[in-house]
Structure 1
Amino acid sequence: MNHKESTMRRRKFIFLLAIAILAVLVTDNGEVTALQQRNMVSYLRGPYNADFFYRHNEAFRVASAIHIAHGRQHDILELTPLSRHQETDGDTDAEYMRATLKPPRTEPTMELMGPYSAMSYFSLYRAIDWTHIHHEQTYDILSEKSIPWEEKKKWTDRAVRYYLDKFDIPRSPAPLDVTMRRAGVMMKPYTTLFRNYYPHSNNFFYAAHWWHPVIYEAMMVGGNGEKQDSMVRETDQTYFTQVLADRPQRMLLSRELMPRYSRLSPESANIFDNLHMLHGIAYDILTYEGWSAEEKKAELDRVIEAMSARPGDERLARKFPLPHPDIDPRNYMEWMKGTEGEMNRIMKEMMDEMMPMMMPQKMEPEMHEKIMAQFKMKLTPGLQEGELPGSLGEVMQAMMPEMKMMPESLQPGVAPTKMIDMMLRGWQEKYGGMADVEPLPMQQGPAIHQ
């Protein structure tokens, strides 16, 4: 082949490649999709890097199995019709349990396990993966024996600062009470779909979100020495022998399961709650079949931004109660298992705050009772006897056709601003003057009842 022929072939290849790329970027209606940001940030260097991996490798692998499941779930929902939810849910849960019982040896990214969804929703993956890095870094800090106990907070604060400052969409350090109201998802047409139609998969994640915080608490109770190793092992054992067999029926929050760590670093604790809630909202959106991929992306991006760090959020970081300040993370208590708890308290408050706007006329007591009965069923995983099909918002509209819905509630990527403002005012009235949760006196050393 002479030089001229070689040059022509290269030009032809480049031309065809450009056509192929353009074809990928053009949507069905002829619009060109915007390329999504794919830059990521590396670990913050410190004496603790990878210490959780080496010191608590079995626990590290449990986390990796959980993150495999998180990544897989996106593609399962995107590629599977809702009509097959029952069969898919059982198969998916079995797959997740196999990964849990034979966990991977390294941490997967979301794109590795959910490549199809990565093509449309990469901003979601960036938000998740960055916060998973924060998980690992903060586990590492507590694991590292060379960091004196009284200096754990200094190093954790450094990791929080890096997490918040070096990324464009970090999860907020404000409590979920605030960010859930900011997200404004309650009356969106997708809310509660995942927990109602994929209860086994949903409850696998509820169990996983029991495990993540109690591992922090096990290290907080164990201290730097050998007791930390036994505490983590025994807490892992509880997960395998009790929690996975009898899974929580709600998403448990950091303040409930890791009260000591929440006092040490409320910012970090809230970041994890906001990530775990983002998982659930994302799964609801991907379950919903009424929107296109572009519309789902618009809504995901809206929610991601609403639950991202904003100026002033750090001042709110300690505005939460501690309902169980002295828990032993090795014990799976009865109060952890049911639907009653902090997350659903927040949801109930939001519902109460929205109702005057949606139903300005007085509701009959009988109708209110029926509405709240359906509301409670919608917050419960699975479909209960007497529960109406569909999402929470769809059911409320069906029961009360006269209900005044904000038009934005039905639109993807649009915030129901009036509703959000009303809910935030409701939170401010109830909790704006709330005393900050007390810092943890680390100089006293770890103690089960500290």
Structure 2
Amino acid sequence: MICATVGLIIAGISWSHAAFSDQRNMVSYLRGPYNIDFFYRHNAAFRISAAIHFAHAKQHDILQLTPAICCRDMDVSTDVEYLHCLYNPPRTEPTMEYYGPYVAQSIFNLYRAIDWTHMHHEQTYDILSERSIPWHEKKQWTDRAVEYYLETFDIPRSPAPLDVTMRRAAIMMKPYFTLFRNYYPRSNNFFYAAHWWHPVIYEAMMLGGNDEEQESMVMQTDVIYFSQVLENRPLRMLLSREAMPRYSRLSPESANIFDNLHMLHGIAYDILAYEGWSLEQKKAEMERVIRAMSYQPGDRDLARKFIIPHPDMDPRVYYDWMQSGEGDMTRIMREMLDEMMPHMMQGGMDEQMRGRVFRQFAMKMRPGIEQGESEGSLHDALKKLMPDMQMSHEAMEPGVADAKMVEMMLEGWREKYGNLPDVAPISMDVDPMPPVLQDE
């Protein structure tokens, strides 16, 4: 009965619940010959994107207003609603405030950061869609859109790789990390599937070129989304370098911006799912994370510091490696945990304990709660294993990070990848022909 009542409350939210509000300054989109071309040329795909963004918006209020005891029922009903929206998609692009009005009243900067980056999605889709822009000019128009995105707004997502920004954000030992994926696995995996779809659509256009093959590539990729991906959703967040390798070489800045947005979605959902803080405390933490993952001096110099693991992937194939829980996102998290360990366990730990720690880590990284997995967040699980684990009390508070731990992780990244050669640019001299479709 309680959970049913919560659903009615969420459905009937009014604007009178505001406790505090933010300045709502926004910036308009950049004008160009490509504006709204994705809408006209690939309308079915545009509407899929709109349905995904409906789900993103609504998830905020669901998590803030749903008691933890109701998470299972809410997760099931929410997934049904999201799928219904995908099969009956909106005709226009919703902003976050439309379907997440409660959180909009208190943490509007989160929505500003998301909507601004969704606008960048639209602009960059438009550029690739626009026939009047010759193939060899796509990069200069994309670079123009990236410049506008980064320089016209106060909190754009960073063009640095997620490997760097996640270390700056320092969220892994916060009391909320992993709650969304562990307790809302269906909804979480809906977004993992969405974060498969967004990058592979870029890749479909990169392989389709300017002419009619582009429509065919996009439509075939959409078919895979509905026929395979939604039925067997990824178990991790795919990164741009994995799911759109060619576009990542064309515009690594844009590719990293999208990774940083997609990770922000997950972090925001974790924070909102956590019941240990007030909404004002959640706002403080959200603002900290938004700033940490925003564009900072020197970030552009790092834009190409990543490896392309699957350079020849075809977006029309749903590969086994896409479905697995192992990939670049999990690698980044594992590295970060390894880098934090000397700080948290200054007395060291034996191999047996290390094995137990990383087994819990592996389970926490996967959606749902497995047999043998500790309840709660990753922090809760590790604290149960290692009661003497040392954490700065201040850094556990909302809006604060452990500066020493952040620097340790960044130094760890510099040691591993600081001398990594930049990923090579891609030639755009010739309008491409799609490859012959081959199964994995």
TM-score between both structures, scaled by the size of structure 1 = 0.92
Deviation of 1:41 (Å): 0.8
Match of 1:253 among 228, 236, 239: 239
| Contact 2:200–2:244 under 8 Å retained in 1 | yes
Map of 2:120 onto structure 1:
134
Q: Is residue 2:263 matched to residue 1:242?
A: no
Q: Could you tell me which residue of structure 2 aligns to residue 4 of structure 1? A: none
Cα displacement (A) at 1:398:
1.4
Tell me whether 1:380 sits opposite 2:372 in the alignment: no
Match of 2:356 in 1: 370
With 205-214 and 356-365 compared, the bigger mean Cα shift is at 356-365
SS at match of 1:402: coil
Q: Could you tell me how far apart the structure 2 residues matched to 1:88 and 1:380 are?
A: 19
Match of 1:415? 401
Aligned equivalent of 2:39:
53
Structure 1 residues 242 and 24, CA gap change in structure 2 (3 angstroms): closer
Partner of 1:392: 378
Letter of the 1:125 partner, please give it. Y
The one-letter amino acid of 2:283's match is K
Partner AA of 1:84 in structure 2 = C
Q: How does 1:40-189 map to 2 (within 5 A)?
A: 40-189=26-175
1:339 maps to 325
Alignment match of 1:262 (pick from 248, 273, 277): 248
Which segments of structure 1 move beyond 4 Å, counting only runs of 4 or more? none
| Letter of the 2:147 counterpart | R
Q: Which amino acid aligns with 1:412?
A: P
Alignment correspondent of 2:389: 403
The aligned residue for residue 321 of structure 1 is 307
User: Structure 2 matches for 1:200-211, cutoff 5 A?
Assistant: 200-211=186-197
CA contact (8 A) 1:328 1:448 kept: no
What's the CA shift string for 1:194-240, capped at 9, x where partnerless?
00000000000000000000000000000000000000000000000
Deviation at 1:406, TM superposition (A): 2.0
Measured against aligned partners, the alpha-carbon deviations of 1:154-197 in whole angstroms (never above 9, x if no partner) come to 00000000000110000000000000000000100000000000
Q: C-alpha offsets along residues 348-374 of structure 1, whole Å, 9 cap, x if unaligned? A: 000010001111112121111111110
CA distances 1:276-299 after superposition (whole Å, capped 9, x unpaired): 000000000000000000000000
How far residue 445 of structure 1 moved from its aligned partner, in angstroms, is 3.0
Separation in structure 1 between the aligned mates of residue 329 and residue 63 of structure 2, nearest angstrom: 24
Secondary structure of the residue aligned to 2:26 is: coil
Amino acid paired to 2:150: L
Question: Hey, what does 2:9 align to over in structure 1?
Answer: none
Cα distance in 2 between the residues matched to 1:427 and 1:447? 38
| Structure 1 stretches lacking a partner, 5+ long | 1-22, 28-32
Do 1:192 and 1:378's aligned partners in 2 also have CA atoms closer than 8 Å?
Answer: yes
Q: Which amino acid aligns with 2:160?
A: A
Q: What is the identity, as a one-letter code, of the residue corresponding to 1:54? A: Y
Contact 2:127–2:138 (CA<8 Å) still a contact in 1?
A: yes
CA distance in 1, matches of 2:348, 2:171: 24
Q: Is the 8 A contact 1:189 1:409 kept in 2?
A: no
- What secondary structure sits across from 2:40 in the alignment? helix
Cα shift at 1:400:
0.5
> Aligned equivalents of 1:292 and 1:418: distance in 2?
27
Query: For the Cα contact (< 8 Å) 1:82–1:289, is it kept in 2?
Result: yes
CA–CA distance in 2 between the matches of 1:427 and 1:121? 31
Deviations 1:418-445 (A, max 9, x none): 1100000000011000000000111133
What CA distance in whole angstroms lies between the structure 1 residues aligned with 2:143 and 2:210?
18
Q: Distance in 2 between matches of 1:408 and 1:263?
A: 40
1:444 aligned counterpart, secondary structure: coil
The Cα of 1:394 is off from its aligned counterpart by 1.2
Matched, 1:309 2:298: no
- The answer for the alignment partner of 1:425 in structure 2 is 411
Q: Deviations over 1:38-88 (max 9, x none)?
A: 011111000000000000000000000000000000000011101111000
24 and 285 in structure 1: CA distance in 2 versus 1, 3 angstrom threshold: closer
Change (3 A) 1:196 1:24: closer
Q: 1:414 and 1:358 mapped to 2: Cα distance?
A: 17
Q: In structure 2, what is the equivalent of residue 6 of structure 1? A: none
1:37 to 23, 27, 38: 23
User: Aligned-pair distance for 1:132?
Assistant: 0.3
Which amino acid in structure 2 is aligned with residue 101 of structure 1? Y
Answer whether contact 2:79 2:190 (CA < 8 A) is retained: yes
Please point out which of 277, 288, 296 is paired with 2:263. Answer: 277
8 Å Cα contact 2:213/2:433 also seen in 1: no
Contact preservation (8 Å) 1:353, 1:423: yes
The answer on whether the counterparts of 1:196 and 1:382 sit within 8 Å (CA) in structure 2 is yes
Shift of residue 24, structure 1, vs aligned partner: 7.7
Residue pair 1:326, 1:448 contacting (<8 A) in 2 also: no
Aligned-partner Cα distance in 2 for 1:362–1:161: 46
Aligned residues: 420
CA distance in 2, matches of 1:415, 1:447: 48
CA contact (8 A) 1:195 1:381 kept: yes
Q: What CA distance in whole angstroms lies between the structure 1 residues aligned with 2:369 and 2:297?
A: 40
Contact 2:57 2:97 in 1 (8 A): yes
Q: Pick the structure with greater CA Rg.
A: 1
Cα distance in structure 2, aligned partners of 1:349 and 1:374: 15
Q: Give the aligned CA root-mean-square deviation in angstroms.
A: 1.1
CA contact (8 A) 1:187 1:409 kept: no
Measured in 2, the distance between the counterparts of 1:98 and 1:186 equals 33
Q: What is the alpha-carbon distance in structure 1 between the residues aligned to residue 283 and residue 167 of structure 2?
A: 20
Q: Could you tell me how far apart the structure 2 residues matched to 1:37 and 1:259 are? A: 38
Which residues of structure 2 form unaligned runs of 5+?
A: 1-15, 436-440
Distance of 1:439 and 1:312 partners within structure 2: 20
